[in-house]
Amino acid sequence: MAAYILRRLLLMIPTILGIMLISFVIVQFAPGGPVERVLAQLQGQNTAMSRITGGGGDLAGRGTTQGGGGESNSRYRGAQGLDPAFIKRLEQQFGFDKPAPERFLKMLWDYARFDFGKSYFRDVSVLQLIREKLPVSISLGLWMTLISYAISIPLGIRKAVRDGSPFDVWTSGVVIVGYAIPGFLFAILLIVLFAGGSFWQIFPLRGLTSEGWSHFPLWQKVTDYLWHITLPIIAMAIGAFATSTLLTKNSFLDEIRKQYVLTARMKGLSERQVLYGHVFRNAMLIVVAGFPGAFISAFFAGSLLIETIFSLDGLGLLSFESIVNRDYPVVFANLYIFSLLGLVVNLISDLTYSWIDPRIDFEARAA
């Protein structure tokens, strides 16, 4: 097993390199960039000042040429009329004065040491930004995963035991409808009903905690936190348990129909003893082993709209805003961390399979 783990860890290196290389190349051809963003802001300031002064604006007193040059800066939209030296200073500030291969190799060396630099536009380190957003994303991911599993596992077992019954049919309909409703649409419905939209104002609409939360006693901190997180978690979890419910049901059905279950019944064991003493461990293998992956998926994906609707400043919203603003250090740092965690979680999932069922030997398969 040690050799298998080492082999998987070594394979992560070329995988991460490939992900970062493809993303870096795509960014090089993407329109816009941090330099263009600064130039657009300066041109906007110049336009506004020109309207006020009748055309006498000077881009806030910096960066303009006296002769209206800027031909060497034609590769940047909005660079016409700006001092080439000013453009070069911008390029040096963002690191674009170096060739793309050199910038990529430097990024890899920094990321290997978990040095992600500073945000282009927030004047704060990327790691500090991520640490500030982590509590929101951890709350959303952890609670959604726990709630979805707490619902899907008992429901899936019950559906398997009563396969084909009216209970199985109508619960399948509810699960499918819940899965089909987009989370953000359900979030809007919850706001309209329970957050002061048109009916009741029971739950807060913004933030993860109330103002002055740090000064609350412990019991009030817990209550306030749960009060704020209720609607976002319901909105995210409404369709999250559909897949795991059907997976649990089908897994139990496959095991219930096997010969060892018939043998256990012939020995006089009760249905409860057969179900939880023999079927449960084998049937839950695929469900439990998928827990790390489900948590990471809930942690990093699908929360952008929910964070936006409920004004929760988490990693999803940070990543989106960074992409829009071309804040490349934040974009690539998030991509690197998410990819690395995803690869590690896949390894943990495989090891969980082996831990739950020792008959599975990935090392023997690889050999």
Domain locations along the chain: 32-115, 127-366
Q: The whole model's pTM is what?
A: 0.71
pLDDT digits (tens, 9 = 90+) for 21-65: 998 998 887 777 777 777 777 766 555 444 444 444 443 444 444
pLDDT at 43: 66
Contact 187, 231 (CB under 8 A): yes
The Cα diameter of the chain in Å comes to 98
How far is residue 304's CA from residue 289's CA, in Å, rounded to a whole number? Answer: 26
pLDDT at 67: 37
In terms of phi and psi (left: phi > 0; alpha: psi -120 to 50; beta: otherwise), the region of 309 is: alpha
How far is residue 120's CA from residue 115's CA, in Å, rounded to a whole number? Answer: 15
Q: What is the distance in angstroms between the CA of the first residue and the CA of the last residue of the chain?
A: 11
92 exposure class (CB count in 10 Å sphere: 0-12, 13-18, 19+) = exposed
- Could you tell me which residues come within 8 angstroms of residue 62 by beta carbon, excluding any fewer than 6 positions away? 86
Contact 83, 68 (CB under 8 A): no
How far is residue 315's CA from residue 335's CA, in Å, rounded to a whole number? Answer: 11
173 C-beta neighbours (distance < 10 Å), count: 10
The secondary element (H helix, E strand) that includes residue 23 is helix 2-29
Higher-confidence residue of 192 and 354: namely 192
How far is residue 354's CA from residue 5's CA, in Å, rounded to a whole number? Answer: 12
Higher-confidence residue of 306 and 16: namely 16
Mean pLDDT in residue range 286-315: 71
Place of tokens 């449960």: 280
Q: What is the CATH number of domain 127-366?
A: 1.10.3720.10
pLDDT at 355 exceeding the cut of 80: no
Higher-confidence residue of 361 and 52: namely 361
